Amino acid sequence: MGFTELAIKKKYVTFTLIALLIIGGVRAYFNLPKSENPGFIIKTATIITYMPGASPDKIENLISDKIEEAVKEIPELDYVDSTNKTGFSLVKVNIESKYKDLRPIWDSMRRKVNAIKSQLPSNSIGPIINDEYGDVFGTIIGVTGEDYSYAELEDMVKDMRDELLTIDEVAKVDIVGKQEKRIFIEYDNSKLAELGISPYQLQQILTSRNIILSGGNIELGSERIPLEPTGDYKDLNDIRKTSITLPDGTGIYLDDIADVREGYIDPANAKMRVDGKQALGLAISMKDGGQITKLGAKVKDKVEYFKSQYPIGVNFDFISQQSDLVEKKVSSFTANLIQSTLTVIAVLLVFLGLKEGLLVSTLVPVVIAITFLLMSVFGIGIDTVSLAALIISLGMLVDNSVVMAESIISKLEEGMGKLDAAISSAKELKVPLLVASLVTCAAFSPIGFAKSDVGEFAGGIFKVVALALMTSWVLSLTMVPLFAVLFLKIDKKEEAYNGKVYRVHNRILLTLMKHKIVFVILVLLIIFSGVKGMGFVPKIFMPKDKKTVMTFEVQLPKGTSIERTEDVAKDIDEYIENKLKVKPEQEEVNFFKQLLAGGSIEKYKDEGILNWGTFIGEGAPRFTLAYSAELNSPEYIYFLINTTSVEVIEELILKLEGYTINQFPDAEVKAARLEIMPVGKPIQIRVSGKEMDKLYDIVHSVKDKLRTINGVEDISDDWGLRTKKLRIKIDQDRLEKAGLSNRDVAISLLSVLDGVQLTEYRKDDDIIPVVLRDKNSKNVDISTLETTKVYSLRTGRSVPLKQIAEIKALWEPSIIYRRDGIRTITVKADTVNGITATEVNNQLKPWLDKEQANWGAGYSYAFGGEYESSTEANESIEAQLPITALVILLLLVIQFNSYKKPLTIILIVPLTIVGVAIGLLLTGKAFGFMEILGLISLVGIIVNNSIVLIDRIGIELDEFNRTPQDAILEAAKRRLRPIFLTSATTICGLLPLWFSGDALFGGMAVSLIFGLSFGLLITLIAVPVVYSIVFNINYKEYNYNNIDIDKNMPVDS
């Protein structure tokens, strides 16, 4: 007994199982983790090492080079890059995309880095390894309070952080914009000289006083008691009252000769502002497996609690709130799924009639429910990719049930009993439908098995489509036959396929099969036109996101002080506040529009900016996977801006860039929508080599060439201009005669300028460095620097700096980037006026190849940006295509036990590009990664339909003993309606996805819609004609007689 017969005869068991699966699917939908987009693993770790005062080239040679060499031994390494700034090394270790279990790799990396620690300079700090570089802080709350000091805000934010950490879904809470505290001991050099004491002696006294050491243990009888000597500073007054013994033996207190105060590091490393006000931020990351919507709701509850606990005037603003974006996006896509489902059901009812339409359409919601259940089993969450996959699969999953229902109804109309008709149809179609479903699944498999970030991101398409199609196949062999037996009532009648559509279709086929040479020429011309047409379609990697969020980056010249940067930020803040900010007053949205959008539409009375966060000297925390924050840089400002709509962003980009360039001509600016995948500027050319001067010359010529290419703007490079540096050239002979050392010079200068850290002061849970510095450090110029006294750490004697050294100004890079151990400058640019990065690279590459021949050995270039990301993604797909092709070919051979029949299908595959080209050109969509997926999956659908048609030809030949000519025409006639319905339901099901304007799937939907529309002609016309050509079936003398064929119709059709 087959499982079709078993499902029918055990109908109560079947009904119960279906009901349980539906209930499980509904529960799964509400319990599955929801996110806007599926995640992918950031396969990067960072290694940070500090060496105060060291120049970028020293950092490069003494630290980064050694760490790079160590991590290059990791076999899974993709590439390593390093950033070298004054006193700072950042090495990024990037692992190949195909690896997912990173823990063993990071453990190996730690061992290799630890092994070379002894080779690093003794005064270096680190290396500090961070293998959580990819953590996403989807919620960022800005806390402001105009009437509160920074210290008061900090205390409040710390309490809030502790409270937020009690939420189950919270993994981390970082404080953004927090300033580092310092205890400053500021002395007057002239006063110290009067008293006969040097800064170094003062340093020794203070360092020796604040001691936290164990006093050992003492045994008293049977007890062993630890000794704790006092001596550490308990408060600021302890520091102020430190006793200082002068050379004449008298004693004074520290506060008699120095000012002691608590403050913040000056100048600040980074600052944060919210809506133009000084602020601190709370960046919240979610635990793995957490529910973003639950996290969002709990965080909002906590914020309401904070509002009730803290005084009036303390404000809380969500600068980033991923949970709201997720709810809107999932609601919108769920609405699209419902619309697609209803559209598919409507199409079935219209074209199949009430009885057959209800029989087939019942399958749709059941398959969706069971797919949700299976998604929970396989750990697939609800996001735009999984929901889009369900929408894409709707029409395809109907195919199995349409073909099954058609077969059952046909047999019933010819007089067969219900049970026999159902079992006979299942037996006849079980294998062809399985093969057709597997072929379609195989067509989606390249993205499912692609070993790349994009493969991780979009791999859910394959998984969900496969689950839906295989569920559909099982239900087509169980539920559909059962419902047919129970509910269908059809009288025996003669079915003649004599409608106008059938007659026209038949005449077209006969004409083409009688003129095969003309057909071949037409096909070749169509394929040529399709390929040529694709040449006019713009090529991109990924479109920009369509969130109502934008970013604005301002890069001032290298060497700009953070004070100047903050002034620029305040100016732009003021412009936004006065010219671009609007009140968050919403308007009512048309009920029908809101219903179609799943309640996700928000319409405001005025268009503009709602709120924004300003990050000075650093980027924002990683609030989305596609964003990677800039390193701390005093010249950098990052604005994270929430707007009223996607449409207003282009206007805001023009206004923000225009105002900033007008006010600050020396600034580089870039306002943009968010990215879906991390790419950065679309045009990037990495130039690598050894000598700095030559690298600068090459980069200069590359930038000049880019300026000649139409559609290129915002050309820059990541090294920037050389910055001024003062080099203290020490005369070693004079130094030795004065009884000084190089260390004496460095520490003396440090104490006069930035200050020397003496010790640490513990206040509550804070450890605050105590810094000794000259109170006139802010007023130092070159003349005062020359007269600065250099003290001997050994004797306390001093001489002016100019007696032992010469001060020289020189220009050098403020930052040195390396890639795989080679110095690398990256030239970056944007495109405008519809020009794509691909077009620019195509113009640039021949020139670069020619120029590279003149650069000499050791100098090279490589494209980054959109080209690199697209190439990596496409290659990961292409690597899977041979396996996919073999799997599909194997399935076809298994199905047909023939080579000629699979050849027939293979020959029509190139035609699929034509419909895609037409669709993209008509709609103005670009051909990107998702459109490539659409084209590949389209091939699977066309092959699927072709299998059903060619299988029917075999039935007509083998079971009904028709002539080859009659068999082809009869099979085409009998499969016209099922194939049309499959295409129509898929097309109509994709319309809501197209009309939604989704950035990621809109173009893919267009590819499939137009591809399937043209594919319908391919299957119904090209497949029969190509079949006749492959099998050499002659129609020259053939006269079609529909009446004779109908008379020759066997009872068992």
Tens of pLDDT, residues 972-1015: 888 888 888 888 888 888 888 888 877 888 888 899 999 989 88
Neighbours of 442 (CB within 10 A): 24
* Contact present, 129 and 111 (Cβ < 8 Å): no
Q: Answer with the residue of higher pLDDT: 468 or 241.
A: 468
pLDDT-based confidence at residue 230 (cuts at 50, 70, 90): low
Instruction: State the pLDDT at residue 227.
Output: 62
**Per-residue model confidence (pLDDT) at position 999:** 80
Gap between the Cα atoms of 1017 and 1009, Å rounded: 13
Place of tokens 């060497």: 559
User: 1051 falls in which pLDDT band (50, 70, 90)?
Assistant: very low
| pLDDT for residue 1050 | 41
pLDDT at 762: 80
Q: Does 944 score more than 50 pLDDT? A: yes
Residue-wise pLDDT for 578-592, tens only, equals: 999 999 887 776 666
Confidence of residue 778 (pLDDT cuts 50, 70, 90): low
Q: Which of the pair, 870 or 413, is modelled with greater confidence?
A: 870
pTM (two decimals) = 0.84
- Determine contact, residues 294/280, Cβ cutoff 8 Å: no
Provide the token pair at 95.
């692992």
Domains of the chain: 1-31+362-495 (1.20.1640.10), 43-133 (3.30.70.1430), 181-264+723-812 (3.30.2090.10), 497-536+880-1053 (1.20.1640.10)
Contact 278, 144 (CB under 8 A): yes
So what's the pLDDT on residue 593?
Answer: 64
- Nearest alpha-carbon partner for 870 in 832, 842, 834, 910: 842
Spatial distance between the Cα atoms of 707 and 935, rounded to a whole number of angstroms? 35
Give the pLDDT confidence of 253-279 residue by residue, as tens digits: 888 888 888 888 878 888 999 999 999
Mean pLDDT, residues 96-102: 87
| Helix/strand/coil for 143 | strand
pLDDT of residue 1043: 44
pLDDT digits (tens, 9 = 90+) for 947-973: 888 988 988 888 888 889 999 998 888
Other Cβ atoms less than 10 A from the Cβ of 859: the count is: 18
pLDDT-derived band at 77 (thresholds 50, 70, 90) equals very high
pLDDT of residue 46: 92
Cβ-based neighbour number of residue 724 at 10 Å: 11
pLDDT at site 45: 92
Average pLDDT over residues 237-243: 83
For every residue of 902-937, which 3-state class applies, written as one string?
HHHHHHHHHHHHHHHHHHHHHHCCCECHHHHHHHHH
Q: What is the pLDDT of residue 1024?
A: 93
Average pLDDT over residues 392-407: 82
Note the pLDDT of residue 592.
64
* Cβ atoms within 10 Å of 898's Cβ, excluding its own: 14
Residue 684 tokens, joined: 């990037």
> How many residues belong to the chain?
1053
Report pLDDT for 229.
Answer: 57
Does residue 719 or residue 2 have the better pLDDT? Answer: 719
Percent with pLDDT over 70 in the chain = 94
Show the DSSP H helices in 230-291 as ranges. Answer: 236-240, 254-257
Question: What pLDDT band is residue 214 in, cutting at 50, 70 and 90?
Answer: low
Is pLDDT above 90 for 110?
yes
Using a CB cutoff of 8 Å and minimum separation of 24, what contacts does 595-600 make?
595/335, 596/335, 596/339, 596/992, 597/331, 597/332, 597/335, 597/996, 598/331, 598/332, 598/333, 598/334, 598/335, 598/336, 599/331, 599/335, 600/327, 600/328, 600/329, 600/331, 600/332, 600/335
Whole-number percent of the chain with pLDDT over 90: 31
- What are 811-853's pLDDT values in tens digits? 888 899 999 999 999 999 998 887 888 889 999 999 999 999 8
Q: Is 672 helix (H, G, I), strand (E, B) or coil?
A: strand
Torsion angle, alpha carbons of 450, 454, 460, 461, to 10 = -90
Rounded Cα gap, residues 264 and 238, in angstroms: 20
**Residue 42 scores a pLDDT above 70:** yes
- Segment of 48-57, 486-495, 581-590 carrying the highest mean pLDDT: 48-57
Please report the pLDDT score of residue 832 as a whole number: 85
| Contacts for 298-307: CB closer than 8 Å, 24+ residues apart | 298/167, 298/169, 299/139, 299/141, 299/164, 299/167, 299/323, 302/160, 302/163, 302/164, 302/167, 303/141, 305/163, 306/160, 306/163
Instruction: Kindly report the average pLDDT of the chain as a whole number.
Output: 85
What pLDDT sits at residue 248?
78
Token pair 């993205």 is found at 447
Is a pLDDT exceeding 50 seen at residue 733?
yes
pLDDT of residue 596: 61
332, pLDDT greater than 90: no
243-252, 479-488, 680-689, 934-943 — most confident range: 680-689
Q: What is the mean pLDDT of residues 540-550?
A: 86
